[in-house]
Amino acid sequence: RQVHYPSMLEPFKRFKVADVGDAPVNSLDIQESLSSIEAFFQKIHSAGVLPLAAGGDHTITLPILRAIAKERRVSLVQIDAHSDTIDEMLG
């Protein structure tokens, strides 16, 4: 939908969104991955872009926040689609 009817905002006219690909990771070296992710998001944010990250595990959150926090105050909205917060599910 081009218009968000409850608010009557037109987000596609107001915001530009682009997929800049995956942050580089080394699945065998967590420290290298954290540094690579931080550098990836630092470059994006330094270019004047407010990054929106989706996907990955919870490990990616810290380096993303570190990258943005170098230049500005940061806020986080985290949405977890998994039902891993309950002891038992479906019986």
Q: For every residue of the chain, which 3-state class applies, written as one string? A: CCCECCCCECHHHHCCCCCCCCCCCCCCCHHHHHHHHHHHHHHHHHCCCCCCCCCCCHHHHHHHHHHHHCCCCCCCCCCCCCCCCCCCCCC
Q: ∠ CA 30-86-60 to the nearest 5 degrees?
A: 20
What was the pLDDT predicted at 75? 87
d(CA 11, CA 52): 15
Q: For the segment 24-46, what is each residue's pLDDT rounded down to a tens digit?
A: 999 999 999 999 999 999 999 99
In terms of pLDDT, which residue wins out, 13 or 91?
A: 13
pTM: 0.73
Q: For the segment 50-82, what is each residue's pLDDT rounded down to a tens digit?
A: 888 888 888 899 999 999 999 999 988 887 776
Buried b or exposed e, range 50-81, using 16+ CB within 10 angstroms: eeeeeeeeeebeebbbbbbeeeeeeeeeeeee
What was the pLDDT predicted at 87? 66
